[in-house]
Amino acid sequence: MNFSIAKKTLFLSVLLGLSSTTFAEFKQAALPYASNALEPVIDQQTMEIHYGKHHKAYVDNLNAQIKNYPELDKVNLAELQKQISKYNAAVRNNGGGHFNHDFFWSSLAPSNKTGQPSAALLKQINADFGSLDAFKQKFNEAATSRFGSGWAWLIVTPDNKLAVTSTPNQDNPLMDIAETKGIPLLGLDVWEHAYYLKYQNRRADYTKAFWQVVNWNTVNQRYTQAIKK
Protein backbone atom coordinates (compact mmCIF):
# COMPACT_ATOMS: atom_id res chain seq x y z
CA MET A 1 0.00 0.00 0.00
CA ASN A 2 2.36 2.71 -1.22
CA PHE A 3 1.23 6.29 -1.04
CA SER A 4 2.40 9.69 -2.21
CA ILE A 5 3.10 12.23 0.52
CA ALA A 6 2.11 14.91 -1.96
CA LYS A 7 -1.38 13.37 -2.19
CA LYS A 8 -1.79 12.73 1.51
CA THR A 9 -1.35 16.17 3.09
CA LEU A 10 -4.92 17.35 2.53
CA PHE A 11 -6.27 15.21 5.39
CA LEU A 12 -3.95 17.07 7.76
CA SER A 13 -5.63 20.28 6.73
CA VAL A 14 -9.01 18.78 7.59
CA LEU A 15 -7.84 17.55 10.98
CA LEU A 16 -6.26 20.91 11.74
CA GLY A 17 -9.35 22.79 10.65
CA LEU A 18 -7.51 24.46 7.76
CA SER A 19 -9.34 25.43 4.59
CA SER A 20 -8.07 24.19 1.24
CA THR A 21 -9.51 27.27 -0.46
CA THR A 22 -7.80 30.56 -1.19
CA PHE A 23 -7.27 32.88 1.76
CA ALA A 24 -5.61 36.27 2.18
CA GLU A 25 -3.54 35.38 5.20
CA PHE A 26 -2.80 32.56 7.59
CA LYS A 27 -4.89 32.34 10.75
CA GLN A 28 -4.13 31.06 14.23
CA ALA A 29 -6.86 28.65 15.26
CA ALA A 30 -8.22 28.85 18.79
CA LEU A 31 -6.95 26.33 21.31
CA PRO A 32 -9.26 23.28 21.43
CA TYR A 33 -9.33 23.43 25.25
CA ALA A 34 -8.86 25.96 28.05
CA SER A 35 -5.32 27.17 28.71
CA ASN A 36 -5.29 25.39 32.08
CA ALA A 37 -6.85 22.14 30.79
CA LEU A 38 -3.55 20.26 30.51
CA GLU A 39 -2.36 20.93 34.03
CA PRO A 40 -0.34 19.65 35.78
CA VAL A 41 1.53 18.33 32.72
CA ILE A 42 1.57 21.71 30.98
CA ASP A 43 0.92 24.65 33.27
CA GLN A 44 -1.40 27.50 32.34
CA GLN A 45 1.30 30.17 32.19
CA THR A 46 3.42 28.15 29.81
CA MET A 47 0.41 27.44 27.62
CA GLU A 48 -0.60 31.09 27.46
CA ILE A 49 2.91 32.28 26.60
CA HIS A 50 3.54 29.43 24.16
CA TYR A 51 0.26 29.87 22.29
CA GLY A 52 -0.27 33.60 22.71
CA LYS A 53 3.31 34.78 22.11
CA HIS A 54 5.44 32.16 20.37
CA HIS A 55 2.85 30.61 18.07
CA LYS A 56 1.29 33.99 17.30
CA ALA A 57 4.70 35.33 16.30
CA TYR A 58 5.12 32.52 13.77
CA VAL A 59 1.75 33.34 12.22
CA ASP A 60 2.45 37.08 12.10
CA ASN A 61 5.92 36.59 10.65
CA LEU A 62 4.63 34.15 8.02
CA ASN A 63 1.95 36.63 6.96
CA ALA A 64 4.62 39.31 6.66
CA GLN A 65 6.25 37.19 3.94
CA ILE A 66 3.20 37.40 1.67
CA LYS A 67 4.58 40.67 0.31
CA ASN A 68 7.68 38.77 -0.86
CA TYR A 69 5.76 35.72 -2.09
CA PRO A 70 2.23 36.78 -3.12
CA GLU A 71 1.39 33.19 -4.02
CA LEU A 72 1.42 32.33 -0.32
CA ASP A 73 -2.11 33.67 -0.01
CA LYS A 74 -3.22 30.79 -2.21
CA VAL A 75 -1.20 28.02 -0.53
CA ASN A 76 -2.70 25.75 2.11
CA LEU A 77 -0.51 25.51 5.23
CA ALA A 78 -0.05 21.75 5.01
CA GLU A 79 0.71 21.96 1.28
CA LEU A 80 3.27 24.68 1.95
CA GLN A 81 5.41 22.26 3.92
CA LYS A 82 6.09 19.94 0.98
CA GLN A 83 7.34 22.80 -1.19
CA ILE A 84 9.18 24.71 1.51
CA SER A 85 12.50 24.61 -0.36
CA LYS A 86 11.09 27.17 -2.80
CA TYR A 87 11.07 29.82 -0.13
CA ASN A 88 13.45 31.75 2.09
CA ALA A 89 14.44 30.94 5.67
CA ALA A 90 11.70 33.16 7.08
CA VAL A 91 8.97 31.18 5.33
CA ARG A 92 10.59 27.89 6.28
CA ASN A 93 10.96 28.79 9.94
CA ASN A 94 7.63 30.56 10.40
CA GLY A 95 5.62 28.35 8.05
CA GLY A 96 7.00 25.32 9.85
CA GLY A 97 6.41 26.94 13.22
CA HIS A 98 2.78 27.69 12.40
CA PHE A 99 2.07 24.21 11.06
CA ASN A 100 3.91 22.44 13.89
CA HIS A 101 2.07 24.34 16.60
CA ASP A 102 -1.36 23.84 15.06
CA PHE A 103 -0.48 20.15 14.84
CA PHE A 104 0.83 20.10 18.42
CA TRP A 105 -2.23 21.69 20.04
CA SER A 106 -4.54 19.19 18.36
CA SER A 107 -2.25 16.34 19.45
CA LEU A 108 -3.05 17.10 23.09
CA ALA A 109 -6.12 16.68 25.27
CA PRO A 110 -7.03 16.83 28.96
CA SER A 111 -6.03 13.59 30.67
CA ASN A 112 -9.65 12.40 30.93
CA LYS A 113 -10.23 12.79 27.18
CA THR A 114 -7.10 11.29 25.66
CA GLY A 115 -8.44 7.90 24.58
CA GLN A 116 -6.17 4.97 23.66
CA PRO A 117 -4.36 3.79 20.54
CA SER A 118 -6.80 2.07 18.19
CA ALA A 119 -6.51 -1.66 17.55
CA ALA A 120 -5.10 -0.97 14.08
CA LEU A 121 -2.54 1.54 15.32
CA LEU A 122 -1.52 -0.63 18.25
CA LYS A 123 -1.03 -3.60 15.91
CA GLN A 124 1.32 -1.53 13.74
CA ILE A 125 3.15 -0.15 16.79
CA ASN A 126 3.74 -3.71 17.98
CA ALA A 127 4.93 -4.76 14.52
CA ASP A 128 7.35 -1.87 14.08
CA PHE A 129 8.56 -1.26 17.65
CA GLY A 130 7.78 -4.45 19.57
CA SER A 131 5.36 -2.89 22.06
CA LEU A 132 3.71 0.37 23.05
CA ASP A 133 6.24 0.83 25.86
CA ALA A 134 9.13 0.24 23.46
CA PHE A 135 7.66 2.84 21.08
CA LYS A 136 7.33 5.38 23.89
CA GLN A 137 10.92 4.77 24.93
CA LYS A 138 12.16 5.31 21.37
CA PHE A 139 10.08 8.47 21.06
CA ASN A 140 11.38 9.77 24.39
CA GLU A 141 14.94 9.11 23.27
CA ALA A 142 14.35 11.08 20.07
CA ALA A 143 12.95 13.97 22.09
CA THR A 144 15.68 14.07 24.72
CA SER A 145 18.58 13.52 22.31
CA ARG A 146 17.56 16.32 19.92
CA PHE A 147 20.38 18.84 20.41
CA GLY A 148 19.06 22.33 20.97
CA SER A 149 15.57 23.16 19.77
CA GLY A 150 13.35 20.93 17.68
CA TRP A 151 10.67 18.25 17.60
CA ALA A 152 10.16 14.51 18.00
CA TRP A 153 7.71 12.76 15.67
CA LEU A 154 5.81 9.55 15.05
CA ILE A 155 5.33 9.24 11.30
CA VAL A 156 3.94 6.91 8.66
CA THR A 157 6.66 6.23 6.10
CA PRO A 158 6.07 5.90 2.35
CA ASP A 159 5.83 2.09 2.77
CA ASN A 160 3.11 2.47 5.42
CA LYS A 161 5.34 1.57 8.36
CA LEU A 162 5.72 3.59 11.52
CA ALA A 163 8.95 5.37 12.42
CA VAL A 164 10.20 7.76 15.07
CA THR A 165 12.24 10.71 13.93
CA SER A 166 13.20 14.20 15.03
CA THR A 167 13.73 17.52 13.28
CA PRO A 168 15.63 20.67 14.19
CA ASN A 169 14.10 24.07 14.83
CA GLN A 170 10.64 24.26 13.19
CA ASP A 171 11.21 21.67 10.47
CA ASN A 172 8.83 18.73 10.14
CA PRO A 173 8.61 15.42 8.22
CA LEU A 174 6.25 16.85 5.58
CA MET A 175 8.90 19.26 4.35
CA ASP A 176 10.62 18.44 1.09
CA ILE A 177 13.94 19.16 2.83
CA ALA A 178 13.33 16.73 5.72
CA GLU A 179 15.99 14.07 6.23
CA THR A 180 13.28 11.51 6.96
CA LYS A 181 9.99 12.22 5.20
CA GLY A 182 6.57 10.91 6.16
CA ILE A 183 3.07 11.74 7.33
CA PRO A 184 3.20 12.93 10.95
CA LEU A 185 0.85 11.31 13.43
CA LEU A 186 2.21 12.77 16.66
CA GLY A 187 4.69 15.51 17.45
CA LEU A 188 6.32 16.83 20.60
CA ASP A 189 7.74 20.34 20.86
CA VAL A 190 11.09 20.23 22.68
CA TRP A 191 11.97 23.90 22.39
CA GLU A 192 12.71 25.19 25.89
CA HIS A 193 9.83 27.65 25.74
CA ALA A 194 7.49 24.61 25.65
CA TYR A 195 8.51 23.38 29.10
CA TYR A 196 11.10 25.53 30.89
CA LEU A 197 8.84 27.37 33.35
CA LYS A 198 7.72 24.09 34.92
CA TYR A 199 10.50 21.63 34.14
CA GLN A 200 13.57 23.91 33.83
CA ASN A 201 16.35 21.80 32.29
CA ARG A 202 14.52 18.50 32.91
CA ARG A 203 13.44 17.79 29.36
CA ALA A 204 13.23 14.08 30.13
CA ASP A 205 10.59 14.73 32.82
CA TYR A 206 8.56 16.84 30.39
CA THR A 207 8.80 14.14 27.74
CA LYS A 208 7.63 11.42 30.12
CA ALA A 209 4.73 13.55 31.38
CA PHE A 210 3.65 14.29 27.80
CA TRP A 211 2.09 10.82 27.47
CA GLN A 212 -0.57 11.76 30.03
CA VAL A 213 -2.06 14.30 27.60
CA VAL A 214 -1.56 12.67 24.18
CA ASN A 215 -4.80 12.89 22.21
CA TRP A 216 -4.89 9.32 20.91
CA ASN A 217 -8.30 9.94 19.35
CA THR A 218 -6.73 12.42 16.95
CA VAL A 219 -3.64 10.24 16.40
CA ASN A 220 -5.92 7.34 15.49
CA GLN A 221 -7.77 9.50 12.93
CA ARG A 222 -4.50 10.61 11.39
CA TYR A 223 -3.31 7.02 11.14
CA THR A 224 -6.51 5.86 9.46
CA GLN A 225 -6.21 8.61 6.85
CA ALA A 226 -2.48 8.09 6.31
CA ILE A 227 -2.75 4.41 5.38
CA LYS A 228 -5.66 4.71 2.96
CA LYS A 229 -4.79 3.65 -0.56
User: What whole-number distance in Å separates Cα of residue 19 and Cα of residue 187?
Assistant: 21
Angstrom distance (rounded) from CA 131 to CA 147 = 26
The pLDDT assigned to 70 comes to 95
Peptide bond preceding 40 in cis form (omega within 30 of 0):
yes
Domain residue ranges of the chain, discontinuous segments joined by +: 1-22+43-229
DSSP string, 63-107: HHGGGT-GGGGGS-HHHHHTTGGGS-HHHHHHHHHHHHHHHHHHT
For the chain, percent of residues with pLDDT exceeding 70: 89
Cβ contacts of residue 209 below 8 Å, gap of 6+? 41, 199
The structure's pTM equals 0.89
Burial of 70 (0-12, 13-18, 19+ CB in 10 A): exposed
Task: For residue 12, name the pLDDT band (cuts at 50, 70, 90).
Answer: low
Residue 140: per-residue pLDDT? 98
- Residue 85 CB contacts under 8 Å (≥ 6 apart), including other chains: 175, 176, 177
Q: What pLDDT sits at residue 21? A: 36
Q: Specify whether domain 1-22+43-229 bears CATH 3.10.580.10.
A: no
34-83 confidence digits (pLDDT tens): 999 999 999 999 999 999 999 999 999 999 999 999 999 899 999 999 99
